[in-house]
Structure 1
Amino acid sequence: MMSVTNAFKKALALAELGLPVFPCAASKRPTCPHGFQDASRDVGAVRALWRAHPGPLVGVPTGKATGIFVVDVDTAKHDTAADWLKRHTQDLPETRSHRTQSGGLHLLFKHRSGMRNTQAKLALGVDTRGDGGYVLWWPAVIDHGHHNAPLAELPAWLAEALMPPPPETRPTVQRPRTPEAAKAKIEGIVGTVAAAREGQRNSLAYWGACRLAELVKQTVITQGDAVALAVEAARQAGLPTKEAHRTVASAFRGQQ
């Protein structure tokens, strides 16, 4: 772990480059009272921060404050994160990346308006940091494993996966009038999810589970059957089993 003195020196250098910084403890928590909101690119203010609230790590706000959006891929702790990165490597543009202390990876992109923090929305172990968040600036601590390319635009498919259409914009499923109509409705929902293209899988899996949950409320289908169909459709679309279960469970909770 870096000493407080070395962290302070690195923080000053980053501030001089125009990056707002603030001190963090070894626990990764901010040491200053207002967290990332205390971040500053003013050298004098940075000196005062470290003097009053010393910390061995350097934090940097994400989102509008810096124009940085970060995808945190914790490959060291989660196989699902490693699988996600392997599946999407060819779809990710060259951009700046930082190796983390635990062996994970931060992928840095240009921030896009409206992008906030998420946890495990893309996959278990894949979090994001945008407006209202911060990351530790690992190049201040670790000298290797970093790629200093310019920040790339956030890929459209990734933004879409993180910002699905609001649930209220989706039409409510009308109760089918006959068993045949019910069967056709269910098959239509399941088929739409199963045929989802990359970049649509999470949002359509959530949508389909919501629609099936509505049919459960209408006693058209049992919840057990609806969950099983929703998970299987998400798996056919290409989502890992755990991710499919998590997305479907989230949708059903939202319909309660």
Structure 2
Amino acid sequence: MSNHDKARAAALFAAREWGHEVFPLSINKTPIIRSPHEKGHTCQGMHQCGAPGHAVGDATSDPDTLRWLFEQAPKAVGYGIRCGARLVGLDLDRKEKVDGVATLNRLASRHGFEIPQTTTVCTPSGGFHLWLAVPGGTIVPNSVGKVGPGIDVRSSRGYLVGPGSTGRKGEYVLHPKTGYIEPQPIPEQLLRLMLPPAPRQQPNRRPAAMSEDSSTRALQGLINVVLRSTEGNRNDRLFWAAAKAWEHVRDGHVAASDVEAELVGAAVQVGLGAGEAMRTVASAGRGVAA
């Protein structure tokens, strides 16, 4: 069986048996189907335009659609699993002088929580992916090193490389001692480390009334500003949009977790690094809070 066929079979199994939404990846662990749109587009996935090439926006659990996606990507040798409301991944790197496993163990000891026995995927570099679940309605932002050295968080608009995938350094496989386990809840202490700090409140200021629909439209408009940015002005547009969004947070109209998750996700989609985007959004928030 070729690596392409192996990845397709593993992806179909993950969708059918585990209920996850998946999409094809290249040997570099990146989305392999090119976007059908010009830069700055606002299309979120195949459900909007009917064409593949939206990375996580293509993820599906429908077997026929998944087979079709792999037909469009004959060089795909892996698949990504969509993260977000149901699944959050901890990517524990072990490379050079960084050991994400040791970092997580220290955090567990320091903050008094136990690392749950959950689905664990062994990566070719010697690290691990832990699959965890969050309480309903909680939006965990993607992050790189925020929780601790060697620990990356994959959540909204992010993905994990699924077991049965092949990368340049080797294969991703389920840990032999655990196999597949329904993703276990994140310990509360660990979840707090993943979430952004709550913004400072101004108790003497009474927020003007804003409906849920209007606040959603306001945030979506700011996300679109970032999605329409181009190389050379992406960071400036992100800072401007984030500053406006944090004003809505300060007034109580938008959740802080939504601002970071959605704006960082949009920035990554137009080519900014996740770390850079998170720093820009945080910087804009400090400016508003001041």
TM-score of the two chains, using structure 1 as the length reference: 0.60
Cα distance in 2 for partners of 1:22, 1:85 equals: 29
Cα distance in 2 for partners of 1:10, 1:164 equals: 35
Structure 1 unmatched runs, 5+: 172-246
Residues 120-145 of structure 1, C-alpha deviations (whole Å, 9 max, x = no match): 10112211011111110135544453
Instruction: Flag the 1:127–1:170 CA change in 2: closer, same or farther, 3 A.
Output: farther
TM-score of the two chains, using structure 2 as the length reference: 0.54
- 1:207 aligns with none
Instruction: Flag the 1:119–1:96 CA change in 2: closer, same or farther, 3 A.
Output: same
Amino acid at match of 1:74: D
Instruction: Flag the 1:34–1:78 CA change in 2: closer, same or farther, 3 A.
Output: farther
- 1:30 aligns with 31
Cα distance in 2 for partners of 1:144, 1:14 equals: 12
Q: How does 1:163-202 map to 2 (within 5 A)?
A: 163-169=195-201
Q: Percent identity?
A: 25
Residues 180-225 of structure 1, C-alpha deviations (whole Å, 9 max, x = no match): xxxxxxxxxxxxxxxxxxxxxxxxxxxxxxxxxxxxxxxxxxxxxx
Q: How does 1:151-166 map to 2 (within 5 A)?
A: 151-166=183-198
* More contact order relative to length (CA 8 Å, sep ≥ 6): 2
Cα distance in 2 for partners of 1:129, 1:44 equals: 27
Cα distance in 2 for partners of 1:144, 1:161 equals: 26
Cα distance in 1 for partners of 2:155, 2:64 equals: 26
Instruction: Flag the 1:88–1:95 CA change in 2: closer, same or farther, 3 A.
Output: farther
- Structure 2 SS opposite 1:169: coil
Cα distance in 2 for partners of 1:139, 1:76 equals: 22
Instruction: Flag the 1:94–1:22 CA change in 2: closer, same or farther, 3 A.
Output: same
Q: Which structure has the highest helix share of the two?
A: 1
Amino acid at match of 1:61: R
- 1:84 aligns with 103
- 1:102 aligns with 125
Q: How does 1:51-90 map to 2 (within 5 A)?
A: 51-54=71-74, 55-64=76-85, 67-88=86-107
Please give the root-mean-square deviation of Cα atoms over the aligned residues, in Å.
2.8
- Larger Rg: 1 or 2? 1
Number of positions where the alignment pairs a residue of Structure 1 with one of Structure 2: 176
Residues 155-191 of structure 1, C-alpha deviations (whole Å, 9 max, x = no match): 11111112243233389xxxxxxxxxxxxxxxxxxxx
Amino acid at match of 2:73: H
Amino acid at match of 2:133: K
Cα distance in 1 for partners of 2:202, 2:196 equals: 11
Are the aligned partners of 2:88 and 2:134 in contact in 1 as well (CA < 8 Å)? yes
- Structure 2 SS opposite 1:31: coil
Are the aligned partners of 1:78 and 1:124 in contact in 2 as well (CA < 8 Å)? no
Instruction: Give, in angstroms, the shift of residue 70 of structure 1.
Output: 0.8
Cα distance in 2 for partners of 1:119, 1:143 equals: 23
Cα distance in 1 for partners of 2:118, 2:202 equals: 35
Instruction: Flag the 1:10–1:93 CA change in 2: closer, same or farther, 3 A.
Output: closer
Cα distance in 1 for partners of 2:97, 2:199 equals: 29
Instruction: Flag the 1:60–1:40 CA change in 2: closer, same or farther, 3 A.
Output: same
